Amino acid sequence: MISRRMRRLQNLARLRKQEEDARVLELSAVRRDIAAAERQRDEIGAMQRSMLEGAAERARSQFNADEMQRFYLFERHLSNVATDADAAIQEMRTVEAERLEDLQLANRRKRTMERLAENAATARQTAISESERKLIDEVAVNRNAARRKLAP
């Protein structure tokens, strides 16, 4: 039968494992968001380069001041969007670092509880083995004493 303390330690270890799993999910969600934001930023950069190449080509073939101004304004807009995306990525990296720290703490807490549960199980097993050994020794002593009484 499992002792109350053992059961409590096992429940706490299970709770710490669930806490760690939740932290893993939070960290992976933040990392997915960062990857998506970086892809979006890279797409904006590619769009910006493509637009500038198109503007240069148009300027060489037929120069139209209004069209060049629109290209320039759109390029500025893309530049602002890329800057905002970089700022958002930096914020997400900060959140990622916090989530990673939370995960490491949860992992340490889980390992501590697992060690405590393991130590309690080992101590319980040692106590059981010790009591069994004492019982076996007592039976052996009693048998030996009984044999001596029967022997002439």
Q: Compute, in degrees rounded to 10, the torsion defined by CA atoms 8, 10, 11, 17.
A: 150
Q: Is the pLDDT of residue 1 over 60?
A: no
Across 81-110, average pLDDT: 94
What pLDDT score does 133 carry? Answer: 94
pLDDT for 58 beyond 80? no
The confidence score (pLDDT) of residue 32 equals 96
37-60 residues labelled b (16+ CB within 10 A) or e (exposed)? beeebeebeeebeeeeeebeeeee
Report the range out of 65-69, 95-99, 110-114 with the highest average pLDDT.
Answer: 95-99
In terms of pTM, does the model score above 0.85? no
